Amino acid sequence: MCESFFATLAGELLARRRFASQTKARMAVSSFLDVWYNPARRHSGIGYLSPIAYEAKTTMQIEMT
């Protein structure tokens, strides 16, 4: 799993990009994680849904019971 994460990070964020400082690089990685990777990326562990879609589906199922 970790290798997959770093491959995605390198391919989506770091490829062909230079940062002016280490702080700017850290901010870019943090933003990548908070905005795209964690909430929007589909995860195999939850049926290839994004966490947002999974939570919506789960909430809908709970409300219908």
pLDDT at 58: 93
pLDDT at 45: 87
Residue 33 CB neighbours (<10 A)? 15
CB 46 within 8 A of CB 33: no
* pLDDT tens per residue across all 65 residues of the chain: 567 777 878 887 888 889 999 999 899 989 888 887 777 788 888 899 988 899 999 999 999 98
pLDDT at 59: 94
